[in-house]
Amino acid sequence: MGLLNKKDSKLVLDPLADNNPITIQVLGICSALAITAELRPSVVMAISVMFVLGIGNVVISLLRNIIPSKIRIIVQLIVVAALVIIVDQVLKAFAYELSKTLSVFVGLIITNCIIMGRFEAFALGNSPWRSFLDGIGNALGYGIILIIVGFFRELLGSGTLLGFPVLGDPIAKTGLYATGYENNGFMIIPPAALIVVGIIIWVQRSRNPALIEEN
Amino acid sequence: MALDTQKNVYTILFAAGMVLVVGSMLAFVSSALKPTIKENERFEKQQNILYAMGVNQNSDEGSVSFIPTSEVEQTFFQHIKKQLVVEGDQVTESPEAYLIDMKKEIAASKKGLAPKLPVFIGEKDGKAYYILPMYGKGLWDAIWGYIALDEQLTVQGVYFDHKGETPGLGANIKARYFMDDFSGESILAGNRLAGIQVAKGNNDPLNRDKEDNQVDALAGATITGNGITAMIAETMYLYRDYLQTIRAK
């Protein structure tokens, strides 16, 4: 990457694979289970988290020398909450349709462990630019997993992608359904997300044995 | 740095300062955006009411398309000929009836007070539509909607929405394939206001039977479906006297 030196680009690229927040650090699992039944909310959640984590990391990093360590968690929480409320209000005012699709998910960003985790682990000890890159990288890593899980759950569970039928019509029995194929209702419920995430972790670790912890 | 961030005084001052800054920032954002948000909500209500009576831009693709926000206000007052407020025996006309909050009115009626119930009388291609707002609860949070009836109390269209039903399951109450099933169903069973039941296993997934007061339920959304059934029943109960006057016409 021409724009970033090697150390900086590592900040963005590492969380995409070998230090992925969901599959390696096992953070942000709650939202990965809750909102991935369809692809669209997964994509929007990924974008919103990127916004909040990118800016939040910068804010915390700018304040890192003046935050009293005793109340740093509360300070972090307030920064996330304030950002999330602003995102929510701006969406309601200027992208009303989108804000309705997101409904509760925007609020859920506050409870996303990745955000507090990156504030605590990275932004408190690094410069704003590096923190920004770290935030974007982790949000991307989170988003990729969300989109993969959302893709499979919507495809196998509802036979649609982003709401468009891709496998034919299950009621009129056209397309793939004509061969006797049925949607897997299990994919729509949250435990299915756990299984898909599990499969991703399995594939990732068998491709890169260095990721497997020794006991 | 000379600043001692470990001191209690500093911690308290920092916390107080942060509350001030964040609080005033949020208050500023909220009051700056409030008029725009209110207007969006008003347009949305108009779009939903028009949607229920079939004034929308739906194509055959199976997705919901409203009248665009830029035209909705004009279209609304063009199609909605009368807005009534039913309060006990009294029926008055009010151009702002659509802004009545059904949540408050239903709460009032549960306390034994007389609710102010809006009715919108629309006209499309010379035909009259009676549109009633609905409000109830789903699995996680509130659900609401509008139901458009003709003079025989046959459903001409519905619109449902929800605050936080599960995506892919209960959230599909606002999908075309669910809402479209209501059209043509009668809310009457004989002479009784029976409403419409969201029924599991009624062996009628294509909803051919329009006389059974039932539509096919959504898989995996029992509680949301029951919520819809209860919401329609509640609306029928609240409006029972007014609905009789429509039939008498």
The pLDDT of residue B19: 92
Residues of chain B contacting residue A82, judged by C-beta atoms under 8 Å apart: 22, 25-26
Q: In this complex, do B40 and A93 lie within 8 Å of one another by their Cβ atoms?
A: yes
Residue-wise DSSP of B46-101: HHHHHHHTT-S---TTS---PPPHHHHHHHHHHHEEEEEEEETTEEEE-TTGGG--
For residues B90 and A58, the model is more confident at A58
Q: How far is B148 from chain A (nearest CA, A)?
A: 23
Tell me: pLDDT of A62 over 90: yes
B220–A185 CB contact, under 8 Å: yes
What pLDDT, on the 0 to 100 scale, is given for residue B2?
56
- The mean pLDDT of A103-126, rounded to a whole number, is 83
Predicted confidence band of residue B6 (pLDDT cuts 50, 70, 90): confident
The DSSP annotation for A110-130 comes to: GG-HHHHHHHHHTGGGS-HHH
What pLDDT digit, counting tens, does each position of B34-62 carry? 999 999 989 999 999 999 998 888 876 67
Which residues sit opposite B159 in a β-bridge? B146
Does the pLDDT at position B1 exceed 70?
Answer: no
Q: Which of A45-49, A170-174, B205-209, B232-236 has the highest mean pLDDT?
A: B232-236
User: A63: part of which helix (H) or strand (E)?
Assistant: helix A39-63
Size of interface A-B (CB pairs under 8 A): 82
pLDDT band per the 50, 70, 90 thresholds, residue B28: very high
CA distance A186 to A177: 17
Q: Which runs of E-coded beta strand occur in chain A?
A: 160-161, 164-165
Cβ count near A16 (within 10 Å): 17
Q: Is B77 on the interface with A (CB under 8 A)?
A: no
State the average pLDDT over residues A122-144.
Answer: 91
pLDDT tens digits for range B92-129 = 988 888 888 999 999 998 898 889 999 999 998 888 99
Mutation target to probe the A interface, by most A beta carbons within 10 A, among B6, B18, B20, B61 is B18
CA distance B7 to chain A (A): 8
Q: For chain B, what percent of residues have pLDDT higher than 90?
A: 45
Mean pLDDT of B170-191: 89
DSSP 8-state secondary structure symbol assigned to residue B217 = P
Q: For residue B26, what pLDDT is reported?
A: 94
Chain A closest CA to B13's CA: distance in Å? 10
CA contacts within 13 A on the Cβ side of A38: 20
Phi, psi angle pair for B110, to nearest 5°: -70, -25
pTM over 0.80: no
CA distances from B154 to B52, B79, B83, B129, B184 (A): 13, 19, 20, 10, 6
Query: Looking at residue A1, what is its pLDDT?
Result: 46
CB-based contact B73:B82 (threshold 8 Å) = no
B154 strand-pairing partners: B186
Cα B140 from Cα B138, distance rounded (Å): 6
Q: What is the pLDDT of residue B56?
A: 87
- Cα–Cα distance measured from residue A157 to residue A179, given in angstroms and rounded to the nearest whole number: 17
Cβ B219–A189 below 8 Å, yes or no? no
Cα distances (Å, whole numbers) of residue B24 to A61, A66, B27: 22, 20, 5
- As a whole number of angstroms, the distance between CA A130 and CA A16 comes to 16
- Helix runs in chain B, H state only: 8-52, 69-79, 102-110, 176-179, 222-238, 240-248
Q: Please, are residues A32 and A146 in contact by the beta-carbon 8 Å criterion?
A: yes
Other beta carbons less than 10 A from residue B208's beta carbon:
7
Interface with chain A: mutation pick from B20, B46, B166, highest number of A CBs within 10 Å: B166
Given CA atoms A88, A93, A94, A100 in this order, what sign does their dihedral have? positive
* Interface test with chain A among B1, B12, B13, B22, by most A beta carbons within 10 Å: B22
Q: Most distant CA pair in chain A: distance in Å? A: 65
> What tokens appear for B21 in the block?
């800054």
